[in-house]
Amino acid sequence: MTLLNMLVTIGQGIVLALGIFLAIEVGYLLLLTVAALFARRTTPARAGDAKTRFLVLAPAHNEEVLIERTVDSLLQMDYPRDAYTVCVIADNCTDRTAQLARARGAMVEERTNPDLRGKGYALDWALQRWWDSGRPCDAVVIIDADTDVSPNFLRVMDARLAQGDVAVQGYYAVRDPGRSWTAALRYAALAVLHYLRPQGRMTLGGSVGLKGNGMVFTAEVMRGHRWTASLTEDVEFHMNLVLDGKRVTFAPDAVVWAEMPNTLGNSTTQNARWERGRIQMVQRYVPTLLKRALAQRSYVMADAAMEQLIPPTSVLAFLIIACLVGGIALGSAAGTALGVVLLIGLAVYILTGLLLARAPGKVYLAMIYAPFLMLWKVWLYIKVLINPNKSGWVRTARNEKK
């Protein structure tokens, strides 16, 4: 065998191994896709009057551009006004966030600690102040300060808690996806990540995960689990809940729409933080989850681990294309066939997510820009892998107010 033939054989083996690895991941996503088709899309109404007393926390750092809209949305929910408190946590703000939120009718807690900055620190601080005050609270809602909420949000969550749920994630979507192709593609990404996958997990009995916005917890859960300050504190909180035997459920009809950056440049800090946080969560929690999943034969724990091992959709698409191109270039029939099948499977997964989430037409049109997003995401992912331990919270860039 010549050296060239040997290299081709090795290359074919690598392509085949990559294809098998990707087949496991895409196969699991297709399992969730099929399961999502059988999930409920609405929450049965609660019998009788609403009874849950909610504390709605909105951590904010220099959010004067959007905070008024968020507070207005929260105060206009279809729920007894005396049964919930909207509290804006003005965390290390140097602008008019606190004044504007207070003027709109929100309770405002101002926190100054430049050495401990970020959402996790702010939430933990505000919760401890609330518990110490002795004021009543049955459940805690966490909403980002750039968010609109559906009017029925608390009604749905009240019904969910009444049926015994202890942690609930609402559908976290993108506000105004038609304003740019970047926002439209982010909508598509969240349609599969924040809608399809949670719906699939509801059918299969898994824990849907926490997405950082539109989250609701019973007061008992929040008292028993401190909010951390990791780069992806919501994911870490979910890992701890799962290890504690608690399951997060999904309320697809309780919707929050958040502002997303209009450009890839403005998305860089947020995406880099997410991916660095994902690497940390894989290292810190996945081995433990897998061990417990085997010992307890727990689908919930196995699924929670699997979720962290699946790369972003753009990276997954890039790897599938690499498998297909490699198979063709090296004359590997198996690698080529796997690449084709996997590409079709990924397309079915994405299209089904858009259909289930009832994506607007502009989102479908924006898919022509998907290759640009894929290359940008892969390059970002490579940089994160090279320097995975970079720490420190950096605020996501906001769009300019029109």
For residue 5, what pLDDT is reported? Answer: 82
Which residue, 213, 248, 281, sits at the end of a domain? 281
The reply to whether 201 falls in a domain is yes
Assigned domain for 48 exists: no
| Boundaries of domain holding 135 | 54-281
Strand partners of residue 32: none
In sequence order, the 6+-apart residues with CB closer than 8 A to the CB of 276 are 231, 384, 388, 389, 390
Give yes or no: residues 31 and 83 share one domain: no
Burial of 112 (0-12, 13-18, 19+ CB in 10 A): exposed
Looking at the structure, tell me whether residues 59 and 192 fall in a common domain.
yes
Domain co-membership, 247 together with 363: no
The tokens 């940008």 sit on which residue? 376
- 360, part of any domain: yes
Verify that 242 and 374 share a domain, yes or no: no
Using H for helix, E for strand and C for coil, what is the string for the chain?
A: CCHHHHHHHHHHHHHHHHHHHHHHHHHHHHHHHHHHCCCCCCCCCCCCCCCCCEEEEEEECCCCCCHHHHHHHHHCCCCCHHHEEEEEEEECCCCCHHHHHHHCCCEEEEECCCCCCCHHHHHHHHHHHHHHHCCCCCEEEECCCCEEECCCHHHHHHHHHHCCCCEEEEEEEECCHHHCHHHHHHHHHHHHHHHHHHHHHHHHCCCCCCCCCCEEEEHHHHHHCCCCCCCCHHHHHHHHHHHCCCCCEEEEEEEEEECCCCCHHHHHHHHHHHHHHHHHHHHHHHHHHHHHHHHHCCHHHHHHHHHHHCCCHHHHHHHHHHHHHHHHHCCCHHHHHHHHHHHHHHHHHHHHHHHHCCCCHHHHHHHHHHHHHHHHHHHHHHHHHHCCCCCCCCCCCCCCCC
Same domain, 30 and 118: no
CATH of the domain at 82: 3.90.550.10
402 within domain boundaries: no
Model confidence over 310-350: pLDDT tens digits?
999 999 999 999 999 999 999 899 999 999 999 999 999 99
pTM: 0.92
- Flag residues of the chain having pLDDT under 70: 1, 388-402
Establish if 288 belongs to a structural domain: no
Q: Computed over its alpha carbons, how large is the radius of gyration of the chain?
A: 22
Based on the domain organization, do 268 and 372 belong to the same domain?
A: no
Together in a domain, 306 and 194: no
pLDDT of res. 399: 53
Whether residue 400 lies inside any domain: the answer is no
In a domain, 397, yes or no: no
Token pair recorded at residue 162:
């009444």
Using alpha carbons, list the distances in angstroms from residue 382 to 10, 122, 193, 274, 375: 24, 31, 21, 14, 11
Whether 217 and 268 share a structural domain: yes
Asked whether residue 221 falls in the same domain as residue 146, the answer is yes
- Tell me, yes or no, whether 188 and 302 share the same domain: no
Residue 35 lies in a domain: yes
Overall domain count for the chain: 2
Pairwise CA distance, residues 170 & 189, whole Å? 16
Considering the domain architecture, whether residues 363 and 216 belong to the same structural domain is answered as no
pLDDT, mean over the chain: 91
Task: Tell whether 31 and 149 lie within a shared domain.
Answer: no
